[in-house]
Amino acid sequence: MKISAIITLKKDVLDPQGKVIHQTLDGMGFKDVSEVRQGKYFEIDVKENDPNKAKGMVEDMCKKLLANLVIENYKIIETQ
């Protein structure tokens, strides 16, 4: 079963890459952008068919490795 996780920087953490992307978008004419924050996306195929168990496994992975909870939040976003 495929589970996806999105890792984003917490609100107060500076994201210089997001800022540069924002500036570049602005320079390209995308003037209606107020902020860009860059994150990470993971697609994890787990050997588990129960969606809740599978999500639980990925949540554990997020807590222990995929995210650093000092600066990042994670969201388990979809099941297939």
Partner 1 sequence: MKSSVITFPGSNCDRDMDVALKKFGFRNKMVWHNDIELPKSDLVVLPGGFSYGDYLRCGSMASKSKIMQSVINFAKSGGLVMGVCNGFQILVETGLVPGVLLRNKYLEFICKNVFIKIENKDNPYFKNLEKDIFEFHIAHNEGNYFCTKDQLKEIEDNNQVAIYYCNNQGKTEEEFNPNGSIKNIAGIFNKEKNVLGMMPHPERMIDKSLSGEDGSLFFKNLIKNIK
The residues, any chain, with a CB within 8 Å of residue 39's CB and separated by 6 or more, are: 6, 7, 8, 9
- Find the shortest distance in angstroms from Cβ 15 to partner 1: 9
What's the first-to-final CA gap in the chain, in angstroms? 6
Taking the least distance from each CB to partner 1, the nearer of 71 and 76 is 71
Which residues of this protein are in contact with partner 1, per CB under 8 A?
Answer: 12-14, 16-17, 20, 65-66, 68, 70-71
Taking the least distance from each CB to partner 1, the nearer of 11 and 47 is 11
Taking the least distance from each CB to partner 1, the nearer of 34 and 68 is 68
Neighbours of 26 (CB within 10 A): 13
